[in-house]
Amino acid sequence: MALSSWFVVALLIGSSFAGWEEDLYFSKRRLPDGLVLPIAPPTTANSGRIVGGFEANIADFPYQLSLRQNGAHICGASVISSNYALSAAHCTFPAPPVSAITLRGGSTDRTAGGVVFQVAAIINHPSYSDGSLDFDVCVLRITTSFVGANIAPITLAPEGTDYPAGTRTMVSGWGATSAIGGLPINLMAVEVPLISQESCRGVWGAASVTDNMICASEPGRDACGGDSGGPLTNNGRQIGIVSWGSPLCLGNLPGVYARVAAPSIRAFIRDNANV
């Protein structure tokens, strides 16, 4: 069966079991408008999502946040300063009522523990396109400060920093345990290599992968629904934001991330969060 047919089947099965919370986080993992799944080599790996990863301890990922709408996890985010967080614009577009958005930090368990912070302002990149998913970045200001056990900001990649293909990176989050499954309770993480722009564009098309994006994954390792907006890191620096990719989450097609070091993205973060 072609990948596109598998995707249709997965959506039909998933929608039959999904509740309102699942509808929220599954809706965030999608392709840019007009893009269809290419045929990809099969993979036999299909372990827990984050695909192919391991259960993580928040003490090792103190910047990781759960972005929540009306109390339900919808996306990931990261602490970048005392009162600002970073996430993906597609997680907060169209802008929900700010009173409905909170961030849970300091807990491995996405459902309990840690500290829940009320968001005071949602700022999406002014050039964000919900069709192409270009400029897929937002900053969130909270009403207080990010204070608590196992809560700390992550350093952002400097503007213009380039990372070569093959660089090992880490992506973390509470993404779905399968393309049609639910979210894990505890934080997951997986190491994935960066993929060259040329190779990524060869799969998804030159127009779909802009200079504001970077790509990473390998067969059996990927982000999935519920990981959107979460951090992609290298050596203690955040270099990417989970943006888009195959809804099948098998890792045999590149996962695409907003590039934190892209001048237009880094300037937006600096101008709005002073980071």
d(CA 90, CA 83): 21
- Number of Cβ within 10 Å of residue 5's Cβ equals 10
pTM of the model: 0.89
What pLDDT, on a 0 to 100 scale, did the predictor assign at position 77?
98
- Find the catalytic residue in 87, 172, 217, 228: 228
Q: Please answer whether residues 95 and 124 qualify as being in contact, where contact means their C-beta atoms are separated by less than 8 angstroms.
A: yes
Phi and psi, residue 77, nearest 5°: -160, 175
What pLDDT, on a 0 to 100 scale, did the predictor assign at position 5?
39
Q: Identify whether 73 is a catalytic site residue.
A: no
d(CA 211, CA 214): 8
- Find the catalytic residue in 107, 132, 134, 136: 136
d(CA 33, CA 148): 40
What pLDDT, on a 0 to 100 scale, did the predictor assign at position 41?
54
What pLDDT, on a 0 to 100 scale, did the predictor assign at position 30?
77
What pLDDT, on a 0 to 100 scale, did the predictor assign at position 249?
87
Domains of the chain are 47-55+155-261 (2.40.10.10), 62-153+265-273 (2.40.10.10)
- Residues 6 or more apart in contact with residue 6 via CB below 8 angstroms: 248
d(CA 230, CA 130): 18
What pLDDT, on a 0 to 100 scale, did the predictor assign at position 39?
64
The region, left, alpha or beta by phi > 0 then psi within -120 to 50, assigned to residue 114 is left
What pLDDT, on a 0 to 100 scale, did the predictor assign at position 229?
98
Phi and psi, residue 29, nearest 5°: -95, 105
d(CA 58, CA 220): 23
Tokens of 211: 């200079």
Q: Please answer whether residues 174 and 227 qualify as being in contact, where contact means their C-beta atoms are separated by less than 8 angstroms.
A: yes
d(CA 179, CA 49): 9
Q: What residues of the chain score a pLDDT lower than 70?
A: 1-27, 29, 39-51, 177-181
- Find the catalytic residue in 73, 78, 87, 90: 90
Question: Which tens digits make up the pLDDT trace of 69-103?
Answer: 999 999 999 999 999 999 999 999 999 999 999 99
Q: Identify whether 228 is a catalytic site residue.
A: yes
